[in-house]
Amino acid sequence: MGFGKNCAIGLPLAVLFCNAFTPETAISAVTLTSAIYTENFDGLSAGVTFPTTYGVVTPITGNTGWDGTRLAGSATVATQFRDNQKGASGNSGLYAFHENVSGERALGAIGAVQNVMAFGVALTNGTGQTLTNPTIVFDREQWRTSTVARKTMAFAYGTDATVSNYLTANLTAHSALDLVGINPTSSSGGQSGNSDAMRLGVQDSLTLTLLPGETLFLRWSDSSNAGSNGALAIDNLSITFSALEPDDQTSTPEPGFVSFALVGLLALSRRRRMNRVG
């Protein structure tokens, strides 16, 4: 159990009070050692419990740096991170979706009135370089169809190092990286999210600067729709930053600029000589 940000440390009674009313926020983060991060989610394993208390950050086993939480919902019992083969289960929660018992996995959610869920990743810049403007590429996989409404998981991001719970923080929305499902169908049912019909490539770039030691937070949050809720997942993720060496961050003239400046100085010197002659 961690201390709340506003708790007084050193006063036993105050510590007890704060621990009793502050949800645990144990964010796990990936430390980037290069300008490229990839994740195929095939190491996901079921069994993590998400308590009914809203906003408790829970690391998702099998994927370092990835967390999940329960944003809202009417359920009175905890929900678990579970396997979901071919979208057979329509119960709300976070899931490792897959075709077969072993092997390939994707990270996804089914949001409903019982459990509205979010998942995300924290990436800490450990490269020693300044990282900028990441291009984010992934597959949106749909493992259950929805009825009535098209299913969407909203994407948001932030780089505020003071965020204690990025899964519930007021990050910046960027809809081009939302997970957007197919049109609703007349009945809900499990699908193969790896099939061409259920998989969609998504790509876009963010405009940001991530200094050494700073953390980038990415979050996808679900909601509850009218009718049966669909299941959306993310897979085959790659994030590619532009990297600036520390020396590159001071303005070093390009060779072309140096040549241009030399030509200008020579012309000025020649004109002064001609003026003196004339």
Residues that bind Ca ion (CB under 5 A): 40-42, 104, 106, 194, 235
Measured from the CB atom, is 106 or 232 closer to Ca ion? Answer: 106
Residue 114 backbone zone (phi > 0: left; psi -120 to 50: alpha; other: beta): alpha
The DSSP bridge pattern shows strands 116-125 and 215-221 to be antiparallel
> Are 235 and 141 within 8 A, CB to CB?
yes
> Are 115 and 194 within 8 A, CB to CB?
no
Residue type at 255?
P
CA-CA distance, 265 to 259, in Å (whole number)? 10
Q: Which two tokens stand for residue 109?
A: 């959610």
In three-state form (DSSP H/G/I as H, E/B as E, the rest C), the secondary structure along 189-203 is CECCCCCHHHEEEEE
Measured from the CB atom, is 202 or 244 closer to Ca ion? Answer: 202
Taken as a whole, the chain contains a residue count of 278
Work out how close the CB of 40 gets to Ca ion at its nearest, in angstroms, rounded to a whole number. 4
| Terminal alpha carbon distance of the chain | 86
Closest CA to 166 of 131, 138, 203, 124: 124
Measured from the CB atom, is 165 or 194 closer to Ca ion? Answer: 194
Measured from the CB atom, is 41 or 155 closer to Ca ion? Answer: 41
CA-CA distance, 107 to 26, in Å (whole number)? 20
Work out how close the CB of 200 gets to Ca ion at its nearest, in angstroms, rounded to a whole number. 12
Tokens 């949800």: give the residue: 23
Residue type at 277?
V
Work out how close the CB of 27 gets to Ca ion at its nearest, in angstroms, rounded to a whole number. 23
Work out how close the CB of 96 gets to Ca ion at its nearest, in angstroms, rounded to a whole number. 9
DSSP state of 219: E
> Are 163 and 67 within 8 A, CB to CB?
no
Measured from the CB atom, is 164 or 194 closer to Ca ion? Answer: 194
Measured from the CB atom, is 106 or 123 closer to Ca ion? Answer: 106
Residue type at 21?
F
Work out how close the CB of 242 gets to Ca ion at its nearest, in angstroms, rounded to a whole number. 26
Measured from the CB atom, is 42 or 160 closer to Ca ion? Answer: 42
Work out how close the CB of 99 gets to Ca ion at its nearest, in angstroms, rounded to a whole number. 8
Q: Which residue is nearest to Ca ion (CB)?
A: 235
Work out how close the CB of 131 gets to Ca ion at its nearest, in angstroms, rounded to a whole number. 25
